[in-house]
Structure 1
Amino acid sequence: MNKRNKLFITFISLMVCVSMSAQTIIKPSTKTPTSFAIFIDRTSYEKAKDAVDAYRQSVETDGLGTYLAIDNFQSPEVIRELIVKFHTNKQQPLEGCVFIGDIPIPMIRDAQYLTSAFKMNQKADWKRSSVASDRFYDDLSLKFDFIKQDTDIPLYFYYSLRPDSKTYLFPDIYSGRIKPNEIEGKDKYQLLSDYLIKVVEEKRDTNNVLDHFSMARGHGYNSEDKLAWSGEQIVLREQMPQLFRPGNTVKFFDHSDMFPMKNIFLNEVQDPELDVMLFHHHGADDTQYINGFPESSFVTENIESIKRYLRSKLPARSKKVGKEQAIKEYMDYLEVPKTWCEEAFDPDKLMQDSLLNESLDIHTYDIRELHPGAKFILFDACYNGSFYEKDYLAGAYIFATGHTVATIGNTVNALQDKWPDEFIGLLAAGMRIGQFNRFTGYLESHLIGDPTFHFKNNVNSRFDINRALTMYGRDAAYWRKQLSNELPDVQAMALRQLLYAGEKNLPELYRNTYQHSDYFVVRMEAVKLLALNYPEQAVSTLKQSLNDSYELIRRLSGEYVERIGNPELIPALVKTYLNRGQEKRLTFRLNDATFSFDSTLLEEELNRQLQGRNLYSDTLVVKFRKLIDNDKKHIISDREELTKLGQKLSVYRNGIYSYRNHPTPLMIDDLLDIASDQNRPIEVRTYAVHTLGWYNISYRRKDIIQALSNIKTEDKDLRAELVRTICRLQGK
C-alpha cells in the first residue's frame, strides 16, 4: 500500500469516527401543538435501536411529535441547551423529555431548601451530600454554577445553585428517567429493549382507564395515625369517585392487617387489572420497609421480642468490649437473665432472626421475580427513586416483566408530612404521568419510566387536561373559568395556575375558596397556596383551618402555624391542642408549632381557655404544660451554648442548623446577632445567615431582610449566603 492510499484510509477513518461521535438530532416526524424529546447515549441507542424507534413512534402516535437526540453527552449543559432550544420553538414547543441510558446526572448542592426534608452537612462525602436531580433539566429558570465532574463515577456532575437563582420550583417541562438497573448476569441493554417494547404494547390499549386502584401503608408511616389514614381514604372518594362504583375497585392495605404483609403487598402489585399502586412507607435505595416486629399482649411473645432485641445488639457490642462485658452491660441495662443474653451467640437463633428479617421488607431481588400488574406506582418513601445507583427500587419495578411502565420515587430522604395525593384525581382525567410529577415534585422527586404515559379520560370527556396544561398554562382567563369545573382537582389546579399567571387579588380568592368550597382538596390547595405565598394574609384562615374536618388540612396548617409564627395564632393553637391533642400526627405538628411561641404567652392563653371549662381528665393539659416548659428550657440552653465563644465549629453548626427544621421566631434576634458579629468566625456567621433562609414565610421575614441587608463583608462565602438568603426571603 503506497503512502497516498495510507493517508486516504486514515482520513476516511477519522471522518467515520467524527460521524459516529457527533451529535445526532432527528426532528419530529409529525406536526403537533407541542413536542417531546428523547435523549439517549449512543451505545444504548445502537444496542436497542428497534425498541427505541418503536417507542418514539408510539409517543408520536399518541399526539406528541418527538425529537430523538443521540450522543455520548459530555455534560448536562449540552442537554440543557438543546432542551431550551426545543422548548422555545414557538411552532412546536417542548412539553417534556426522557433521558434513556447513561445520561449525565446533575448532583445539586446548596439547594437543600428545595427538597422536602434533606439536610445533610455538605462537608460529608459529595456523593451522599448532593441531591441527584433532573430539576437541572426541566426547571429552566434555576441558575447553576458548575463545580466538577466526579472522578469515580463520570456520570455525576456537581453543580451549586447560584445565590441569585430563583428560589422555588416550577418546572417548565416534565421529565423522566429510563436507566436500566445494572445486575450481575443481566444485559442492561436487553432490559432496556424489553422495557421499551412493554411500553409500546401498553400504549396500544386505547381503553386503558383508571378503574382499579390500591394503596398500602408500611409501619411507622405518619406515626401510624388512623385519622391520617382514614382521611386519605375519604378524600380519594372525592378525587376519583368512579373507583367506588360497581365494577371498579379501590383497596386499602395496612402493615398491621396480617404479619408479615410483604407477601400480601406483592400479591396485590401483581394483579394484572391493577392500574395504580400507591405505597406509603419508609425506604432505602433498594428496599421498601413494610413491617416492624409485631406487637403483642402475650407475655411469652414479648419475652421473645426482648430476646430478639438482645440478639440484634449484643454481637456488635461484644466486638468492642468483649462477650462477657457486653452481656453484663445489657443484663444491668434491661434487668434480664444471663441466659437471654447468651442466645445472642447461638448461630441457629441468629439464622432464624435473619430469615424473619428477610420476610419483613421488599427488596429489589424480590421484585425481579415478579410480574407487576400496576401500570403506575408511586413510592411515598425515602430513596426508592435513586436512579444514580446501579440497583434501585423504582427501576426494579419498571424493568421487571409485567405491565409497570412508570413509577415516581425520591433520590434522597423525603418528608412524611406532605401531600402525596395532590392532583392524583387528574390521572383519571387522562393527565400524563410526567405532568403529575411536574406539579407535585420536589428537588428529589423523579419519574422513572415513560413520562408520556396516561390513562384514558373516563371522568369528563369534554375536558382535556393535557391540552389545558400545555396550551393554557398561564392563561388567567382560562383558569378562572376552571374554578367552577366539575372536577375538584381541576379547581385546585386552577388555583395553582392563577398564581403563576399573575392573577390579582389572590389572597382574597384563596380565603374565599377556603370558606366556601365543599371539597377537601380545593380547601387544602387554597390553604397551602395562601400560607406559602401570602403568609401575612394567611393568619385569619389558619385560625380556622387548624380545626378543619379534613385531617391533612389540620396537619399542614400546624406546619404553617409553626413556620409563620405570628403570636396572633396562639389562641387557635392552644384550642386545637386541647380539643385534638390525642391525634398522633397532628400533635406531632402542634408540638413543633408550640416551639415558635413565647412560653409565657402560651401559659397565659392556656389558663384563659381553661377558665370555666369542665374537664374529666387533665392529661392533655399536663402534657401541654410540660411541652411548654421543655421548649422554654431548650431555648435557654441553646442561647447559652451559642453565646459561648471559642467552641468547635461543629458545636455552632449543629446548634444553629437545628433551627432549619424548627424556624422559631424566638431565635431570630439571636441568629441576626451572630450573623452580624464581626468577632465571630466567618463560618459561624455563615451558618446563621444560611439558617435564616428557612424563615421564608415567617411573619418577621421583612425584619430579617432589613437586618441582613445592612451586613457588609468582603468574604465571598458569607456574601454569597447573604444574597441567597435574602432572595429566599423575598420569594425570588
Structure 2
Amino acid sequence: MRLVLLYLALWSFAFASAHTVIEPPVSQGLTSFAIVVDNSTYEATRMALLKYRDAVEADGLSTYIIRGDWNTPDEVKLEIIKVYHQAVHLEGIVLVGDIPVAMIRNAQHLTTAFKMNEETFPFPQSSVPSDRFYDDLHLKFDFIGQDSVRTNHFYYKLSEDSPQCLNPNFYSARIKYPDGWKGDKYVALSDFFIKAADTKKQISKDPLDNIVAFNGGAYNSDCLIAWMDEEKAYRENFPLAFYKGQNFKHLNFRMDKAMKHSLLDELQRPDIDLFMFHEHGLPTKQVINNERTGDKFEERLRLVKTYLYHSLQKMVAAGKNEDSLKQILIEKYHLTDAFFKELHLDSFWKNDSIISADVYLTPEDLSGVATYPKIVLFNACYNGSFQDDDYLAAYYLFNRGNTVVAQGNTRNVLQDRWTIELIGLLSHGVRVGQYNRLIATLEGHLMGDPTARFAPIITDLKLDADIELKQGQSDYWSKLISVPYADIQSLTLRMIVDADSLCTNANEILNIFKSTSWNTVRMEALKLLGRYNNACFTEAVHMGIGDSYELIARHSANYAGEIGDPVLLPALIREWIDGGERQRVGYIINSVLPLFPQNEVECAIDEFYRQTERTNALEEQIQVKKILNRKFAMVEQINAKIKNEKLPVTERIAAIRMLRNNPYHCYVLDYLDLLACKETPVKVRVAMAEALGWFVHSQERIRILEGCRKLLQTDLPDELYLELQQTIKRLI
C-alpha cells in the first residue's frame, strides 16, 4: 500500500499555523463566495485573481479570499468552515491551484456507478477523488493517510455514523492547471482569471439561446428513441433556443464516420453558449464514434485485412516465420498472395491510424483550438479527472476561447442517470454552481468559474438569490408551481420536498406526476417520490414504465427492479415484449426481471400472452421463458455460492457483491440468517451487511432494517457493528 501512515503527525500539521489569511470582501451582497488558493499561486497571479474577484463581486457576490500554505485537506476545510460561519450566506467556493485532493473510501453508494473492490485494488484506483469533502459539511470522515507518491492526495473513509447521502452546504469548483503539462502554470492561471472576468461581463447579459448537444457511439445502447426523446426535454429546458434552426443542434455520432471534425467546428463557433457531450470517456479521451463495422465491400475488406495483418505481425514479433504464417492464413481463409500486398505499405498503416484516431477526440485534436462555448458538460467517465497529471476538461478551460466552466467526473459514471436534471435552470439566471449543487454526486465536479450565469428569461424573478435565501420556505415555492417553465416547476417540487421533514407531501407530488404535461417535471416528481419510498412511489413507477418520455420509462423500469413488488410485473412484461424499439428500456427490464420471484414472472408472462394476439405467440412465449430461465439459473448459482460454507471466503464475498446491482428481494430472509450466524466468517458477514445497504427501495427494506437493528443489540465484532450502523443509516 502506497501510504504514509502518519496519522498523528498529519493531524498535528493540520492544526499548526499554515500562514493562512482570510481577506474579507470589498463589497457587500446578499450572498457570499470564497476563492481558496495556495500562497504561491496567489502571489504569482495576484493581479489577475483580483480582477476575477472584482468581477464576481460586481455580479452580486461578496467574495472572500482564503489563502495559505496548505498541508492537508483538513487544514483547508477548517478555514472554509470559518468563513462559512462568518459570511453572509456562503453559497459557493472555488479551489484554485495546489489544493490537496481528498480521496474518499467507503462511500461508493454516493457515486452513480463506481463499485471497485476496495479490499483488492490499490488505494489510488479504488478511492474516489471528491471535493464533497470540502463542500458537504454534513459528512463525517476518518483520516487514513497520505499517498507516498502523489503527496497531494490524502485518503479518508466516510464514517459509518456519518449521514449517508449528499447534501452540499454550498457549491464548489476547481481551477487547476494539470501537473503534467509543460509551460508556466501561473501564466495559464492568470490568463484564465482574466478570461473568466471578461466573459462574466458578457454572459450575465446574454440569454441562453445557442446550444449544441451530442451523443457519442455506444451511449445508451445507441438507442435512437432515447436520443430523439431528449429533444422533448431540451425544448422544455431551453425555450429560447428553438426559434431558429441553428440555435439548437442535436447531433449524433451516426451523422458522420468521423464526427469529431464537425464537433471541432461547432466548438469554435463564437456564439455557442452551452455544449453538452453525452458519451463514453477516459481521462484524456472522448469517445465520439464507434469502431467502424463496414457498410461497403471495400470497408469490410479493409477491416479483414487490418485484423489479419495485426494478427500476423503479432506472431512474427513472437518469433514465427512470416511466409509460413501467410501460407497458413491463405489456406484457412481461402486467400491469395495478393491479399498481403499492403502488409508492409506505410500508406496502408497511415490510413488505418487515421481511421482509428477518428473514433476519439483527444488532447492532440484540441491542442491550439480555441473553444467558445461558455459552459461544457461532459456526461462521461473520467473526463473531469483533475487529480491526474493530465485531464481532458483542462483543454477546454486553458485556451484563448470563451469556455469558463466545465462539468465532468473523476471516476466512471452511470450512463442511465438523468444527465440533464434541472439543466434548464441555467435559462433562468441560476449560476452553474447552484445548478451543480442540486445534482451532486461523489464523482461529479465543476472545473473553472462556478459563478457563471446567463441572463434570466423572467427578469423580475431572482432564482439565483431565492435558491439560497428561501430554502425551507414551502409557502413561497408553492406559489411558483404555476410559473409556465418546466425547470422552475421542477425546482419548486425539489424545494417543497427538501422542506418536507414530516414526509406529508407524497400524494401532492404523485398528483403532479399524474397531471403535468411537462416531461421533465414528471421525471423530477418520479425521482422525488423515491425519497418517500411508499405506495405513491410504487404507483408512479407502475405508470412510468409505459410513459411517453423514454427516460421516465427507463428509470421506472430500474426503480421497479429496486422495489421488487410483483404488482409491477405486468407493466414490465408488456413494455419488454411490445416496446422493443426502446432498446435501453428493454435492456434494463431484461436485467431487472430476475430480481423478482421466478414463479411470479412466469405467471405475468403467461397472463400477457393470454391477452394478446401476436403472430407465433406460442413460439415467442416459449423463447421468452427460455431466456429468463437461463437468467434465473444464474440467480440460483449466485445465491448458492453465497450460502456455500465450503467455498473460499473470497468467492462468497464476490457473489455477495453482486447484490449491489441485483437486490434479490425473495432471498432477503436467507441473507439475514447468514448475517446473524456467528459461525459465518466475519468478513462474509460484513460483506453481506454492506450489500443489504443497497436495498434502499426494496419492499423488504423494513424487514432488513428490523433484522439489522436486532443484531446490533447482540455482541458483535467491531467491523460488523460499524457496517450494520452504516447500512441502517443508508436504509432509513
Q: TM-score range by the shorter chain?
A: over 0.9
CA distance in 2, matches of 1:396, 1:187: 15
Amino acid at match of 2:34: A
Q: State the match for 1:697 in structure 2.
A: 697
Spell out the pairing of 1:241-252 with structure 2 (5 A cutoff): 241-246=239-244, 249-252=247-250
Q: Greater shift after overlay, 341-350 or 701-710?
A: 341-350
CA deviation after TM superposition for structure 1 residue 261, in Å: 0.6
Alignment partner for residue 212 of structure 2, among 211, 214, 225? 214
Give the percent of matched residue pairs that are identical in Structure 1 and Structure 2: 33
Alpha carbons 2:18, 2:70 under 8 Å: kept = no
Change (3 A) 1:350 1:719: farther
Alpha carbons 1:135, 1:443 under 8 Å: kept = yes
Q: State the match for 1:12 in structure 2.
A: none
Alpha carbons 1:492, 1:526 under 8 Å: kept = yes
Alignment partner for residue 460 of structure 2, among 459, 462, 484? 462
Cα distance per residue 1:404-431 (max 9 Å; x no partner): 0000000000000011111111101111
CA deviation after TM superposition for structure 1 residue 644, in Å: 2.5
CA distance in 2, matches of 1:330, 1:216: 45
Change (3 A) 1:83 1:235: same
The size of the alignment, in residue pairs, is 710
Change (3 A) 1:184 1:35: closer
CA deviation after TM superposition for structure 1 residue 310, in Å: 4.2
1:99 aligns with 2:95: yes
CA distance in 1, matches of 2:602, 2:473: 49
CA distance in 2, matches of 1:250, 1:543: 34
CA distance in 1, matches of 2:115, 2:491: 30
Alpha carbons 1:314, 1:344 under 8 Å: kept = no
Amino acid at match of 1:683: K
CA deviation after TM superposition for structure 1 residue 72, in Å: 1.4
Alpha carbons 1:105, 1:157 under 8 Å: kept = yes
Q: State the match for 1:5 in structure 2.
A: none
Spell out the pairing of 1:218-617 with structure 2 (5 A cutoff): 218-246=216-244, 249-311=247-309, 346=344, 348=346, 349-457=348-456, 459-502=457-500, 504-617=503-616
CA deviation after TM superposition for structure 1 residue 679, in Å: 2.1
CA deviation after TM superposition for structure 1 residue 343, in Å: 8.8
CA distance in 2, matches of 1:310, 1:222: 31
Q: State the match for 1:718 in structure 2.
A: 720
1:178 aligns with 2:175: yes
Q: Greater shift after overlay, 413-422 or 635-644?
A: 635-644
CA deviation after TM superposition for structure 1 residue 527, in Å: 0.8
Q: State the match for 1:13 in structure 2.
A: none
Alignment partner for residue 39 of structure 2, among 20, 37, 42? 42
Q: State the match for 1:727 in structure 2.
A: 729
CA deviation after TM superposition for structure 1 residue 647, in Å: 2.7
Alpha carbons 1:690, 1:722 under 8 Å: kept = yes
Amino acid at match of 1:531: G
Change (3 A) 1:98 1:682: same
Q: Greater shift after overlay, 317-326 or 550-559?
A: 317-326
Alpha carbons 2:644, 2:652 under 8 Å: kept = no
1:76 aligns with 2:63: no
Q: State the match for 2:115 in structure 1.
A: 119
CA deviation after TM superposition for structure 1 residue 317, in Å: 7.0
Q: State the match for 2:673 in structure 1.
A: 673
Alpha carbons 2:379, 2:419 under 8 Å: kept = yes
Alignment partner of 2:275: what SS? strand
Alpha carbons 1:665, 1:698 under 8 Å: kept = yes
Alignment partner for residue 193 of structure 1, among 190, 212, 216? 190
Change (3 A) 1:261 1:443: same
CA deviation after TM superposition for structure 1 residue 583, in Å: 1.7
Alpha carbons 1:310, 1:341 under 8 Å: kept = no
Amino acid at match of 1:593: V
CA deviation after TM superposition for structure 1 residue 86, in Å: 2.2
Change (3 A) 1:184 1:640: closer
Alpha carbons 1:581, 1:620 under 8 Å: kept = no
CA distance in 2, matches of 1:439, 1:521: 15
Change (3 A) 1:32 1:45: same
Cα distance per residue 1:300-339 (max 9 Å; x no partner): 4223223334455665677779678996999699967597
CA distance in 2, matches of 1:700, 1:443: 27
Amino acid at match of 1:670: D
Amino acid at match of 1:475: Q
Amino acid at match of 1:383: Y
CA distance in 2, matches of 1:606, 1:518: 31
Alpha carbons 2:642, 2:653 under 8 Å: kept = no
Q: Greater shift after overlay, 446-455 or 503-512?
A: 503-512
CA deviation after TM superposition for structure 1 residue 152, in Å: 0.9
Amino acid at match of 1:665: H
Cα distance per residue 1:554-592 (max 9 Å; x no partner): 000011001111112112211222321342000011112
Alignment partner of 1:721: what SS? helix
Cα distance per residue 1:328-374 (max 9 Å; x no partner): 99969996759799799747354443332223211123222211010
Amino acid at match of 2:630: N
CA deviation after TM superposition for structure 1 residue 638, in Å: 1.5
Q: Greater shift after overlay, 648-657 or 194-203?
A: 648-657
CA distance in 2, matches of 1:390, 1:425: 33
Amino acid at match of 1:22: H
Alpha carbons 1:29, 1:65 under 8 Å: kept = yes
1:67 aligns with 2:69: no
Change (3 A) 1:337 1:497: farther
1:143 aligns with 2:168: no
Q: State the match for 1:8 in structure 2.
A: none
CA distance in 1, matches of 2:272, 2:224: 25
Amino acid at match of 2:104: I
Q: Greater shift after overlay, 640-649 or 21-30?
A: 640-649
CA deviation after TM superposition for structure 1 residue 107, in Å: 0.4
CA distance in 2, matches of 1:389, 1:685: 36
Alpha carbons 1:331, 1:338 under 8 Å: kept = no
Alignment partner of 1:595: what SS? helix
CA distance in 2, matches of 1:323, 1:674: 58
CA deviation after TM superposition for structure 1 residue 395, in Å: 1.3
CA distance in 1, matches of 2:125, 2:56: 35
Q: State the match for 1:31 in structure 2.
A: 28
CA deviation after TM superposition for structure 1 residue 111, in Å: 0.2
Alignment partner of 2:514: what SS? helix
1:639 aligns with 2:636: no
Change (3 A) 1:316 1:178: farther
Q: Greater shift after overlay, 253-262 or 495-504?
A: 495-504
CA distance in 2, matches of 1:382, 1:223: 16
**Aligned-CA RMSD value:** 2.6
Alignment partner of 1:264: what SS? helix
CA deviation after TM superposition for structure 1 residue 68, in Å: 0.4
Q: Which runs of 5+ in 1 are unaligned?
A: 1-18
Alignment partner of 2:452: what SS? coil
Cα distance per residue 1:662-693 (max 9 Å; x no partner): 21213323332332222222111111111111
Change (3 A) 1:20 1:528: closer
Q: State the match for 2:83 in structure 1.
A: 86
Alignment partner of 2:255: what SS? coil
Alpha carbons 2:225, 2:581 under 8 Å: kept = no
Alignment partner of 2:595: what SS? coil
Cα distance per residue 1:4-24 (max 9 Å; x no partner): xxxxxxxxxxxxxxx996111
CA deviation after TM superposition for structure 1 residue 239, in Å: 1.9
CA distance in 2, matches of 1:264, 1:283: 18
Q: State the match for 1:625 in structure 2.
A: 625
Q: Which runs of 5+ in 2 are unaligned?
A: 1-15
Alpha carbons 2:94, 2:173 under 8 Å: kept = yes
